[in-house]
Chain A
């Protein structure tokens, strides 16, 4: 019961496309952060598929999982800081809609 590498790459591409479209069509700050998490997961899947492609029966290539661990760490940091920013914005403006947070453009 093994997973083909090509299927992992195709799934990663589809997940990244879904995350990117969510990033662009949603106007809620929290939904945008969730879409970013989805895209980071697709990147993780790609790292692991690449690691499997380059490992042989005797030698396992482990750079991919290590980079995936770093990506998970960065995702955790991003979620923490992003949500703190969202809370700070909500306290100031009482909204998390990105359409109403455009004072830099005016």
Chain B
């Protein structure tokens, strides 16, 4: 798992295509979540998967797709693109089949894992309870500060996006005035 995390991270900084590096960063995060799980931090593993792999990486992918930052110059025509897609189909099928097989094996061996490490599940539940109690007693002030930080970030992002819309509206108004002047 450590080797997988390191390999994925190396791909992250060396890949030319941003989409490839985002996907390998996803693989690195999944490896790290597995390490957290093996180290006994169940809640951290879940948070890692949901927040990082689920939310942040999707945000990155959205921005890359929105700005169209993929390596340009390859697969220009529709025919070439179809050929490229057909060539990729075996890889996609192989990866999907491997994932399905992995899930199947995981479900089959679930019982043995529970037999190997019975105190792991017990400790996870107790640590989650302690985590919640600590978060709302000792670390109450940082918790509230974090909520304020989230609110500030939300407002900041809205302002950043809105200013552009006003500029677009202004330019549209200018265009309208110009067409009126022309007619």
Give A residues with C-beta under 8 Å from B: 1-3, 7-8, 11, 14-15, 18-19, 21-22, 25-26, 28, 30-31, 33-35, 37-38, 41, 44-45, 48-49, 52, 60, 62-63, 65-66, 68-70, 72-77, 79-81, 83-88, 90-91, 96
Chain B binding surface SS class: helix
Question: Which B residues touch A72, using CB under 8 A?
Answer: 47-48, 51-52
Quick check: A86 and B63 within 8 Å, CB to CB? yes
A-B contact pairs, 12 of them (CB 8 A): A15-B28, A30-B18, A38-B13, A73-B150, A76-B56, A77-B153, A79-B60, A83-B60, A84-B161, A86-B67, A88-B160, A91-B164
Given A34-B22, A68-B44, A79-B59, 5 more contacts at CB 8 Å?
A: A34-B21, A60-B123, A62-B127, A66-B131, A84-B156
Write the nearest CB–CB distance from A92 to chain B, whole angstroms.
9
Look across to chain B and name the residue whose beta carbon is closest to the beta carbon of A91: B164
Q: Would you give the shortest CB distance from B174 to chain A, in whole angstroms?
A: 17
Given contacts A75-B52, A87-B63, contact A30 B164 (CB under 8 A): no
Q: Does B93 contact A (CB under 8 A)?
A: no
Taking a contact as CB atoms closer than 8 A, the residue among A2, A44, A73, A79 that contacts B38 in the complex is A2
Contacts of A70 in B (CB 8 A): 142, 146
| B contact residues, range | 35 or more
Q: Which residues on the A side are within 8 Å of B60 (C-beta)? A: 30, 33-34, 79, 83
Q: Which residue of B lies closest to A94 (CB)?
A: B67
The answer on a CB contact under 8 Å between A37 and B25 is: yes
A3 touches B35 (CB 8 A): yes
Task: Check A31–B59 contact: CB distance below 8 A.
Answer: no
Closest 5 CB pairs of A and B: A22-B13, A77-B153, A84-B160, A18-B9, A84-B157
Bound-state CA distance A3–B39 (Å) is: 6
Is B126 part of the contact surface with A, judged by Cβ < 8 Å? Answer: yes
State whether A65 touches B156 (Cβ < 8 A): no
* In the bound complex, CA of A70 to CA of B149 (Å): 11
Q: Mark B89-127, 1 if CB is under 8 A from A, else 0.
A: 000000000000000000000000000110000010011
